[in-house]
Every structure is written in structure tokens, then in C-alpha cells.
Structure 1
Amino acid sequence: MEIDELSGIVVDECIALHRELGPGLFENVYEAVLAGRLEKRGLSVLRQFPVPVEIDGQIFDPAFSVDILVEGRLVLEIKAVERLSQTHIRQLLTYLHLLKQPVGLLLNFSHGTMKDGIRRVSNDHNSS
């Protein structure tokens, strides 16, 4: 499945989930329900996926956890904040860089409509 098709499925599920639950819940609620819906659609989903970081030959395991990893390649970062900041975008970019993945979705469920809470982030780092 192409990354754009995979992203489309995630966005559709996020919009449907937001319509049902609305804003105002904690991030872990949206994360759990979204993961369940994606699994129900037959996708491989890993929640709180631990990621090691290697620096100067030393491995730090786990250095951080990705909220949701879909099909081993689409990184989802779930937020429930009033407003996304550049820090949230940089965080996702760093995750993409360290995982050597091209695309991630920053999903903020606190907006009035989910459409306003979706940011597609592309990894411009060289993966070599």
C-alpha cells in the first residue's frame, strides 16, 4: 500500500473518531481508539513503539516511543493541545529522521474540527 493511501485511511479514521468523541479527551484515549480502528481495517499497528538511538557507538534503548507506527512506516504523533507548535513538528521530524521514514502525521484532536488538527510532515533529511 502506498504511503498516500495509508495516510488517507488514517485521516478518514481520525475525522470519524473526532466526530464521535469530539475534542477534550486525553491523548491516550484517542491513541487507543485510533489504533483499534486501524487494526480493524486490517492494518499493522504498533502503539508506544520503542525506538533506540545510537550515538557515538552507544545505544540508548529506548530513547523515545512513537505513539503509533502503522504498517512499519507511517509515524503518527497524537496530541490533544490547544495549538500545535514548532516544537511538535520538530519532534516528529526527529522521529522520522531517526526511524528513516519519509512521512508522519501530527494529529491534534483538540480542534473544533479534525481537519484543522492534521499536519502532514515530510522528512527532508537524507536517510543515508
Structure 2
Amino acid sequence: MNDFSLTEKIIGEAIFVHRHLGPGLLESTYQYCLFHRLRKVGLNVSMESPLPVYFDGVKIDCAYRLDLVVENQVVIELKSVKRLKDIHLAQMITYLKLGGFPAGLLINYNVLKLVDGIKRVKN
């Protein structure tokens, strides 16, 4: 499955979660529900995946945790904020670079229509 079709499938499931729960809940609620939906449709997904930092030839365990990683290809960073900020996008770009992932989805569940809260990011 290519990155685009995989992200389309993930977005469909994210919308399913949003339609059933609505906006304004904690990020962790959306995280667990999306994790459940992605597994239910047969995707390989991990939650709270550790992301070490390699610096100057040393592996540094900084306790960074990726919200969700799907098929070892797409990082999903979930938010439930008034609006996404540039720092959220910068954080995602850094996660993709550090982990060598080809794509990411930044999803803000605190919106009326979820399509308004989704940003696709490529490495």
C-alpha cells in the first residue's frame, strides 16, 4: 500500500472516530479509539512508540513517544487544541526525520469538521 492510499484509509477511520465522539475530548480518548479502529480494519498499528534520538554517535533515550505509527510508515500525532500551530507541524517534521518515516498525519480533533483539522506531512 502506498503512502497516499494508507493515509486515505487512516483519515477515513479518524473521521469515523470524530463522527461518533465529536470534538472537545482528551487526546488520549481519540488515540485509543483510533488505535482500535485501525486495528479493526486490519492495519498494523503501534501506540506510544518510543523514538530515540541519535546524536553525535550516541543513542539518547529522551522518552519521546509517537502517538500512533501505522504499518511502520505513517506517524500520527493527535491533538485536541483550539487550533494547530506552526510548532505542531515542526514537531511532526522532526519526528519523521528522526524516525526515517516517509509520511505523517497531524490530526486536531477539536474542530467541527475533522477535514479542517488534518494536515498531511511528507518527509
- Shorter-chain TM-score bucket reads over 0.9
CA contact (8 A) 1:53 1:63 kept: no
Corresponding residue for 1:4? Answer: 4
Cα drift, residue 9 of structure 1: 0.8
| 3-state SS of 2:92 partner | helix
TM-score (norm 1): 0.93
User: Which amino acid in structure 1 is aligned with residue 75 of structure 2?
Assistant: V
1:122 aligned to 2:100? no
Q: Which 4+ residue blocks in structure 1 deviate beyond 2 angstroms?
A: none
| 3-state SS of 1:43 partner | coil
Q: How many residues align?
A: 123
Corresponding residue for 1:126? Answer: none
| 3-state SS of 2:43 partner | coil
TM-score (norm 2): 0.97
Q: Deviations over 1:90-118 (max 9, x none)?
A: 00000000111121000000011101010
Aligned 1:37-116 pairs, distance under 5 A: 37-116=37-116
CA contact (8 A) 2:72 2:101 kept: no
Q: Deviations over 1:33-67 (max 9, x none)?
A: 00010001111010000011111122112441110
Matched-pair identity in %: 43
Q: Distance in 2 between matches of 1:122 and 1:73?
A: 11
User: Which amino acid in structure 2 is aligned with residue 102 of structure 1?
Assistant: P
Q: Distance in 2 between matches of 1:69 and 1:61?
A: 18
Q: Distance in 2 between matches of 1:36 and 1:13?
A: 10
| 3-state SS of 2:111 partner | coil
Where in structure 1 are there 5+ consecutive unaligned residues? 124-128
| 3-state SS of 2:33 partner | helix
Where in structure 2 are there 5+ consecutive unaligned residues? none
Q: Distance in 1 between matches of 2:64 and 2:84?
A: 20
User: Which amino acid in structure 1 is aligned with residue 34 of structure 2?
Assistant: L
Cα drift, residue 122 of structure 1: 1.4
Q: Distance in 2 between matches of 1:99 and 1:9?
A: 22
| 3-state SS of 1:83 partner | coil
